[in-house]
Structure 1
Amino acid sequence: MIHNKDLHGSRGEFPLLSEARRLAPLLASKAESNEAAGKVSDESIAAMRDAGFFSLMVQKSAGGMEANPVELLSVVEAVCNIDAATGWVMMAANVATTSAAAFLPDTTYEALFKGARPIIAGAGAPTGKAEVEGGGFRLTGRWAYGSGCLNSDYIHAGAMIYENGAPRLIPGTSIPESRIFIFPTKDAQMLGNWDVIGLRATGSVDYAATDLYVPADFTHSASEIVGKRGGDSYRIGVVGFSAIGHTGFALGHGRRVLDQLASLVTAPSDGRPSTLSELAGSDAFKQEFAVAEAKLRAARALAYEAWNDITETTSRSEPVATRQFTLARLALCHATTVMMENSLFAHRVSGGVGLRAGALQRSLRDTLAATQHLVVSDKSLRDCGRDLLGMAEGMKWTPRGLAAAG
């Protein structure tokens, strides 16, 4: 069994965990100004890029960290514990960057990754339309929730494939084909509409492309599982990359919320009346805080159990079973629910402290924004239930839920 306290076995701690501690003062100090700017600061991005945070699963031969799934989870958790928005941008960009490193053709991989650490970000939902043209495609579309795009070098965008004016089907099936398109960020129109309650510093704007030619070698299938390179960890596919990222967010940010609340209980008063000062000594508050702590630790244990199991499977070069992905998605949904419940608890007991602008208020708003993501929707839980009840025969997990295999 692989334990998250010893991620590299005899080699000790995964290097980026110590790098996260080193960069924590810088990343935390930028949180408020990042929110005002609507993006993570260039200084933070540069420091994280140089350390390797945006190439967590990219192959070592191309300058990446080649992390396994448990290592990836631990690093996302650590950075999201420092600052929610910074961690969200990092984990979202890693999904797109890792997908490109795993699934693009060899020539494109060499061009993008050898000698560079590109940041690729965007939305994989196939809301674009790509007409076949020569050795590539003519891409037009608009995509929503492009987390990290404002800090990126390249855009990752999903689109349906059309040929001769009609949807092209995946060979041997009746399923319309979709692909992921990679193109320079400068070729996208950023629409600047990230006017939201939380995670404001992620800059998750809508973006668009109009009649943009993208060579076929800068595209890859949206449903691949086994990477063209990079070893067995890529066997989790995009569905796994995404689930790990959001699980790490829920665990890291959930930990921060409880730690903030605990620190406020013992912090000196600024002269204003505070509900916390009255609650801190009560038996009811102590009991509720203990329950919140237990829920978070239980959620974390479930998540690491699921991903340790998947990591062991991939290390044997075996495919990840549908039930293993189900347990990972269940762990993600549970961790997100616990994060939300504990955030609401912190808001309720903090009184005016949590109401006013500050770290705890921002944490609550970031929580509320994170819970709206598709991967933690009620549908995801229903799909987990379908498999756990033995009703998912012939189905597989995709980033949007269970779907017919084949």
Structure 2
Amino acid sequence: MNKLPGFGLIERAKALAPLIAQEADEIERTRRLTPPVVAALIENGLYRALLPQSIGGAEAPPEIFMQMLEEVAKADASTAWCLGQCSVCAMTAAYLDQDVAREIFGAPDGILAWGAIAHEVHVVPGGFRITARWDFASGSRQANWLGAHVQVVEADGTKRLKQNGTPEIRTIVFPATSATMYDVWDVIGLSGTGTDSYSVENLFIPEKFTALRDDFTALREKGPLYGITTYTMFGLGFAAISLGVARATLDAAIELARGKASVGLKAMRENNAVQGLIGRTEGNLRAARAYLYATATEAWRDLNHTGKLTEDHRTALRLASTWTIHQSSQVVDAAYHMAGATAVFRANKFERRFRDMHAIGQQIQARDTHYEDVGKVILTAAVLPRGPTT
């Protein structure tokens, strides 16, 4: 029997959870994933979840990728965040010439990280040249390749435009040794991600080490996975991470409630208010998870059938990802407050998960303007976008 793409990734993530949890304090202290964790992620092929099978990747369906991240996030959010970031970056291999993709990702430790869209790259003979600095490169401390998304400026100084008149955004990839790194990640949550800044000075980028960002007409790989944009996949991955953090925090609160009693008060497990809060919060978390996975499953099924991700599905995935992150944040808040004074002690991990969850809620995949985008689609669509039917 042929194994499904990504077979074993979830099981391997679960098996690594004790090691990751054991290393979590050191990850937090040093603001980077520890060598044992990075080595274990590489050895078990987790960084290769979304890499094409043609170059040794798993090319896993979104649901497998999401569950893998969820399991890792239960142990440590920073580890899951780096893993999710670098896994999605690896989808760039589907756009590159295969020899270039193999040079970057052929070795088991071939890891790519990048920051936000910014700056311009200038056309020169054979490729491009750039001097620039970028921020928010999660996972860059484990990466041996870095990338960036930039506008293209022609030799005559004009901006290169796509057929629809918008600026062409091209992804450039270069060895991490070509960049200067800046240790700037001094933050309250997701401390271990090492989301640093980096710059290059007068760097030449050969044409073949670039790709049109999320331009499906430029795809070399034709598998259905690469019919999903990296932006959408980031949203699904980070929403799954938020579910893992919420699950771990609520489970910790439930375990605490089973045994904690305060002087002069009922034991928590006998307190009607606590019982009701746990029931409602559990229902909210299960609903958020079911909604996210049902939406992703239906989009994936239709993508496999038609070969195209519809605008309806893109809107649905954006809404589900954003709402799930926000709902997970509410679950973490409820569990944190339920734990009372116990939650403020670092040894109990409530406060770290609280900080990590609120850091997740501050990044671009959770911004409130996504609701405006979805609302605009709903109000202008000839047919109302539908929710998942599975």
* 8 Å CA contact 1:160, 1:167 repeated in 2: no
Instruction: Supply the distance in 1 between the matched residues of 2:232 and 2:216 (Cα, whole angstroms).
Output: 9
* 1:352, distance to aligned residue in structure 2 (A): 1.6
Q: Which among 146, 154, 157 is matched to residue 155 of structure 1?
A: 146
Structure 1: any 5+ residue segments left out of the alignment?
Answer: 1-7, 394-406
- The separation in 1 between residues aligned to 2:310 and 2:264, in whole angstroms, is 49
Alignment partner of 1:66 is 2:56: no
Change (3 A) 1:276 1:297: farther
How many Å apart are 1:14 and its aligned residue? 3.2
1:165–1:368 distance in 2 versus 1, CA, 3 Å: farther
Aligned counterpart, 1:383: 373
Name 2:214's counterpart in structure 1. 223
AA partner of residue 178 (structure 1): I
Contact 2:112 2:143 in 1 (8 A): yes
1:257 aligned to 2:246? no
Q: Check conservation: 1:62, 1:115, Cα contact below 8 A.
A: no
Is residue 266 from structure 1 mapped to residue 255 from structure 2 by the alignment? no
Which residue among 141, 145, 152 is the counterpart of 2:136?
145
How does 1:304-323 map onto structure 2 within 5 Å? 304-323=293-312
Q: Report the 3-state secondary structure (helix = DSSP H, G, I; strand = E; otherwise coil) of the residue aligned with 2:32.
A: coil
Q: Measure, in 2, the Cα distance between the counterparts of 1:103 and 1:49.
A: 23
**Where do residues 349-368 of structure 1 align in structure 2 (5 Å cutoff)?**
349-358=338-347, 359-368=349-358
The whole-number CA distance in structure 1 between the counterparts of 2:163 and 2:13 is 47
Q: Could you tell me how far 1:160 is from its partner in structure 2?
A: 1.5
User: Which residue pairs with 2:169 in the alignment?
Assistant: 178
- Which residue of the partner structure matches residue 339 of structure 1? 328
Let me know the Cα RMSD of the aligned residues.
2.4
- How far residue 330 of structure 1 moved from its aligned partner, in angstroms, is 1.1
Report the CA distance shift for 1:170/1:11 in structure 2 as closer, same or farther (over 3 A).
Answer: closer
Kept in 2: contact 1:64–1:117 (CA 8 A): no
CA positional deviation for 1:285: 1.2
Count of equivalent residues: 381
Are positions 1:287 and 2:276 aligned together?
A: yes
- The residue number in structure 2 matching 1:54 is 47
SS in 1 for 2:150: strand
CA contact 1:58–1:230 (8 Å) conserved in 2: no
- Comparing 27-36 with 334-343, greater Cα deviation is found at 334-343
**Residues 259 and 165 of structure 1: CA distance in aligned 2, closer, same or farther (over 3 Å):** farther
Q: After the TM superposition, which of the residue ranges 114-123 and 355-364 deviates more from structure 2?
A: 114-123
Q: CA deviation at 1:322?
A: 0.9
Match in the other structure for 1:38: 31
Q: Is this contact kept in 1: 2:259–2:268, CA < 8 A?
A: no
Aligned-pair identity (%): 27
The answer to whether the 8 A contact 1:232-1:317 is kept is no
> 1:143 & 1:218 partners in 2: Cα distance?
18
Deviation at 1:349, TM superposition (A): 2.1
- Aligned partner of residue 229 in structure 2, secondary structure: helix
CA displacement at 1:307 relative to structure 2:
0.8
- Aligned partners of 1:133, 1:231: CA distance in 2, in Å? 33
2:387 equivalent in structure 1 = none
Is structure 2 residue 178 aligned with structure 1 residue 187?
Answer: yes
**Cα distance, 1:59 vs structure 2:** 2.2
C-alpha displacement of 1:118: 1.0
Worse overlay, 360-369 or 304-313: 304-313
- Paired residue secondary structure (1:207): strand
Distance 1:58 1:12 in 2: 11
Partners of 2:47 and 2:83 within 8 A in 1 = yes
What is the TM-score when the length of structure 2 is the normalising length?
0.91
TM-score under structure 1 length normalisation: 0.88
Q: CA deviation at 1:113?
A: 3.0
CA distance in 2, matches of 1:323, 1:365: 34
Q: Which secondary structure does the structure 2 equivalent of 1:166 belong to? A: coil
| One-letter identity of the residue aligned with 1:220 | A
- Indicate conservation of the 8 Å contact 1:158/1:222, yes or no: yes
8 Å CA contact retained: 2:145, 2:176? yes
Deviates more, 1:72-81 or 1:106-115: 106-115
